Amino acid sequence: MIELLILAIGVAATFSTCILLLLIDVIVHQDLYRYGLQFSPNWVNPYWTYLRISLTLLLVVTVAIIVLTGIVRLQKTKLETGIEESTQLQKKLRRAEFFTAVVGVASVFSTSALLLSIDKIIHGTLYQYGLQFSYDWANFYWMCMRASLILLGVMTIVIISLIVIIRRQRVKPLTGIIRHQRIKPLRETEEKPVQLPKMRVEEELFRLREKLWRVRGRRSRATGVVFLIISGFFLSIAYFTRYIVFEITSILALLLGVVFVFIGVESYVKMSVASRAVTSSLIPLSRLLSHLKVDGKAIHIPATSEQGSSKIFIPKHSRGSLPSFEKIAKRDDMVILKGGVLLPSVGDALLQLYEEELGDLRSIDLDYLMEWLPKVLVDGLRIAERVEITQKGMEIHVKLTASAFRQVCQQTEATKVICETTGCPICSSIADAIAKTTGQIVYYLNCSYNPATRETSALYRLGPSIKTLMKKEKEEKVSAKQRLAP
């Protein structure tokens, strides 16, 4: 709704400026005649021309602000409903945005120039036609003129603010394009009439993603720099003119520039607060596992559908095994079984964030995941300063430096059980990502944290695939029926 507030400010500024110009016209055509002014077409024709053009340009500025607000609302509606824009419509919106912004800003500066021309007529030409200076009319005239120039500065800020909102909204559709775009390995394609260098395409894709992460996560420095340039522009005008209004506008733009430079696009939470919140949500699960005397290691089961959530099975004993897959395949809630506990994975929410960046993990291979997941964790989500994923045979080793969950890894009585059975949410989410990518169950082996180096190390082992388990259970059922048959 911020765009509607900006629209209201812009329309109010243009309407107020029109009223102030009409008040100036009342001063010229009523009050100044009492101070000796003589009517003459030599001064009145240019004056009326400048005034009428100024009022027309203010109407143009109003229309430009309304059009830009409409573009903001249109893009916002498309983002909320998930409607994809065609390439032709995107080009038309970009052209409309550029044309409207240029016309709006040009109209504002043209109106400022016309107001200065009107002031030159009143405080220069009219004295040649008998006008006598008096503070009785000059004070009110100066107030109206300065207020009009301030409001023109407000209109400029309104137009720039709407442009900034439109540019930020345009990052989100780009996010969807880059997140779900993937370059398939060459071995997956049977027919390739034209083969492009894979490394070059991968580098270009990473460059686009890195640019997206940088735009999404950086501070609003570009906007702040624009306001600082405007501040310098009005400060230079104030130096060569006698109007204090330019100094006020320069100070206002300077303050806005400093604010935008130090305000981030995305909000952040202190790590200590986030860690306490995560720890408090893990305490009930830790107490439940302790009450059930479950001390096995988690077995991560991949989701069988795109909407399904990842699950983990924790055996009661360290040598426990996975129960019948048919019993647990369709269960998404927590179930206490004879041999252990089945529950949703504690890293399922983070897994969804990974898929927002990389697309459906079932459509990529393990090598692709091992290459891109560290980049997502470090550059995209900023969960860790450094991430390494290596594979040796069936074992996968993950090392995270300065993880955002490292305070959870400092094992206390509340989180000790979680670390020993499932691992922290980020370790669990990485196991879920591996399981969903490979279609295999993943055994969580151990996790450790080194406070000196701030490194978290986790070790996993790949198990059989879901298809293999289902095929094996089906064969066992058939053989059991054959044995029971007479």
Lowest mean pLDDT among 138-142, 189-193, 347-351, 482-486: 189-193
Burial class (CB in 10 A: 0-12, 13-18, 19+), 145: buried
Burial class (CB in 10 A: 0-12, 13-18, 19+), 323: middle
Assess whether pLDDT exceeds 90 at residue 397.
yes
Residue 226 CA from chain centroid, whole number: 20
Q: How confident is the model at residue 221 (pLDDT cuts 50, 70, 90)?
A: low
Q: How confident is the model at residue 56 (pLDDT cuts 50, 70, 90)?
A: very high
Is the CA virtual torsion 226, 228, 234, 237 positive or negative? negative
Q: What is the mean pLDDT of residues 49-75?
A: 88
Predicted pLDDT of residue 276: 72
Lowest mean pLDDT among 76-85, 249-258, 331-340, 424-433: 76-85
Q: What is the mean pLDDT of residues 423-435?
A: 88
Q: Residue 447 and residue 398: Cα distance in Å, rounded?
A: 9
Predicted pLDDT of residue 341: 85
pLDDT in tens, 361-378: 888 888 888 988 888 888
Q: Residue 260 and residue 361: Cα distance in Å, rounded?
A: 37
Q: Residue 315 and residue 300: Cα distance in Å, rounded?
A: 12
Lowest mean pLDDT among 77-86, 274-283, 302-311, 470-479: 77-86
H or E element: which one contains 253? helix 244-261
Higher pLDDT, 329 or 435: 435
How would you classify residue 298: left for phi > 0, otherwise alpha for psi between -120 and 50, otherwise beta? beta
pLDDT in tens, 266-288: 556 666 677 777 777 777 888 88
Higher pLDDT, 327 or 71: 71
Predicted pLDDT of residue 301: 86
Q: How confident is the model at residue 405 (pLDDT cuts 50, 70, 90)?
A: confident
Residue 183 CA from chain centroid, whole number: 24
Radius of gyration of the chain (CA): 34
DSSP characters over 224-251: HHHHHHHHHHHHHHHHHSS-HHHHHHHH
Least Cα distance to 230 among 148, 109, 146 occurs for 109
Residue 435 CA from chain centroid, whole number: 28
Q: What is the mean pLDDT of residues 402-426?
A: 76
Assess whether pLDDT exceeds 90 at residue 15.
yes
Q: What is the mean pLDDT of residues 408-437?
A: 80
Q: How confident is the model at residue 233 (pLDDT cuts 50, 70, 90)?
A: confident
pLDDT in tens, 446-476: 888 888 888 889 999 998 888 887 777 777 7
Higher pLDDT, 84 or 252: 252
Which 8-state DSSP code applies to residue 268?
Answer: -
Least Cα distance to 415 among 456, 459, 463, 462 occurs for 456
Amino acid, single-letter form, for residue 420: E
Mean pLDDT of the chain: 78
Contact 279, 415 (CB under 8 A): yes
| CB contact set of 95 (below 8 Å; sequence gap of 6+) | none
Predicted pLDDT of residue 262: 65
Predicted pLDDT of residue 420: 82
Q: Residue 452 and residue 23: Cα distance in Å, rounded?
A: 72
How would you classify residue 386: left for phi > 0, otherwise alpha for psi between -120 and 50, otherwise beta? beta
Could you give phi then psi for residue 265, rounded to 5 degrees?
-70, -40
Beta bridge partners of 436: none
How would you classify residue 448: left for phi > 0, otherwise alpha for psi between -120 and 50, otherwise beta? beta
Predicted pLDDT of residue 312: 87
Higher pLDDT, 184 or 300: 300
Q: What is the mean pLDDT of residues 398-418?
A: 75
Burial class (CB in 10 A: 0-12, 13-18, 19+), 191: exposed
Least Cα distance to 345 among 429, 285, 260, 450 occurs for 429
Contact 216, 266 (CB under 8 A): yes
Question: Would you state the structure tokens that stand for residue 391, as one six-digit string?
Answer: 């594979």
Higher pLDDT, 414 or 111: 111
Q: How confident is the model at residue 78 (pLDDT cuts 50, 70, 90)?
A: low
Assess whether pLDDT exceeds 50 at residue 185.
no
Q: Residue 241 and residue 309: Cα distance in Å, rounded?
A: 67
Beta bridge partners of 297: none
pLDDT in tens, 288-299: 888 888 888 888
Predicted pLDDT of residue 265: 52
Contact 292, 341 (CB under 8 A): yes
CB neighbourhood size of 363 (10 A): 13
H or E element: which one contains 312? strand 311-315
Question: Would you state the structure tokens that stand for residue 283, as one six-digit string?
Answer: 């305490």
pLDDT in tens, 140-161: 898 898 888 888 888 888 888 8
Predicted pLDDT of residue 263: 61
Query: pTM, whole model, 2 decimals?
Result: 0.54
| CB contact set of 147 (below 8 Å; sequence gap of 6+) | 16, 20, 245
Q: Residue 108 and residue 255: Cα distance in Å, rounded?
A: 21
Amino acid, single-letter form, for residue 278: V
Q: What is the dihedral of CA 66, 68, 74, 80, to 10 degrees?
A: -110
Predicted pLDDT of residue 94: 78
Least Cα distance to 263 among 120, 164, 132, 189 occurs for 164
